[in-house]
Amino acid sequence: MKVLVTGFDPFGGDTVNPAFEAVKRLPASIAGAEVAVLEIPTVFRKSIDAIMRRVDEWGADRVLMVGQAGGRFEMTVERIGINVDDARIPDNEGNQPVDEPIDPDGPAACFATIPVKAVVERIRKRGVPAKVSNTAGTFVCNHVLYGVLREIEKRGLSAKAGFIHVPYLPEQVVAKDSLPSMSAGTIASALEAAVEAIVLVERDAKLVGGAEH
């Protein structure tokens, strides 16, 4: 099995992105699967294109996308991507779509096809806080989650895909009052556990992962 793990470049004025800082620490083999990592641009459309180009070239069986969610305490495994771009800030090339569909012909949402709750469970067993998230936002993270799932479906590929949001790194919150952070090493360990679940688990775990709001 081949697992492609992606992380974004820095955006929004930051000089580092915890997503790729952690992703690039992953070993080349996890649970018997071959692992490749890819840094992708925080740019609408180009991010999807970069991932799908690598999927096509390498023949990835699984795609795990990773992005920064400043302010979140845990590793948050996304359940769903929605068909809208509504950017609070511009991307790294100045694009700022507002209320625009990612795919005008696509469904309102696409569910992640990795075992979301099993990933949460495996990360927690590593001693790292994690939970299911039911919103991936409306910026480039949601854009790639929905977009890659949609491209896989349209092309008739057997690959499965999902997304994990990660907290800030400690150095990012030095000048930000009362915001949570997590070290790159801890995030990388959690991502390794996530890949293990993606490779080994056929049927998702039956765990409480809902939210009231």
> For the chain, what is the domain count?
1
Q: Is the pLDDT of residue 130 over 90?
A: yes
If you average pLDDT over every residue of the chain, what do you get?
96
Asked if the structure places residue 100 within a domain, the reply is: yes
Q: Is the pLDDT of residue 76 over 90?
A: yes
Reported as a single tens digit per residue, the pLDDT across 24-62 is: 999 999 999 999 999 999 999 999 999 999 999 999 999
CA distance 134 to 196: 22
When pLDDT is cut at 50, 70 and 90, the band that residue 66 belongs to is: very high
Reported as a single tens digit per residue, the pLDDT across 100-114 is: 999 999 999 999 999
Instruction: Decide if 143 is catalytic.
Output: no
Asked if the structure places residue 74 within a domain, the reply is: yes
- Contacting residues for 107 by C-beta, under 8 A, at least 6 apart: 83
Considering the candidates 21, 110, 143, 165, report the single residue annotated as catalytic. Answer: 165
Asked if the structure places residue 14 within a domain, the reply is: yes
Instruction: Decide if 110 is catalytic.
Output: no
Asked if the structure places residue 212 within a domain, the reply is: no
Considering the candidates 21, 78, 151, 192, report the single residue annotated as catalytic. Answer: 78
Domain that holds residue 135: 2-200
Considering the candidates 21, 110, 121, 141, report the single residue annotated as catalytic. Answer: 141
Tell me the pTM. Answer: 0.96
Asked if the structure places residue 207 within a domain, the reply is: no
Token pair of 146 as six digits? 């929905």
pLDDT of residue 211: 85
Asked if the structure places residue 152 within a domain, the reply is: yes
Q: Is the pLDDT of residue 205 over 90?
A: no
Asked if the structure places residue 174 within a domain, the reply is: yes
CA distance 9 to 149: 21
Domain with 54 in it: what CATH number?
3.40.630.20
- Specify whether the CB–CB gap between 80 and 74 falls below 8 A: no
Asked if the structure places residue 208 within a domain, the reply is: no
pLDDT of residue 144: 98
CA distance 140 to 63: 16
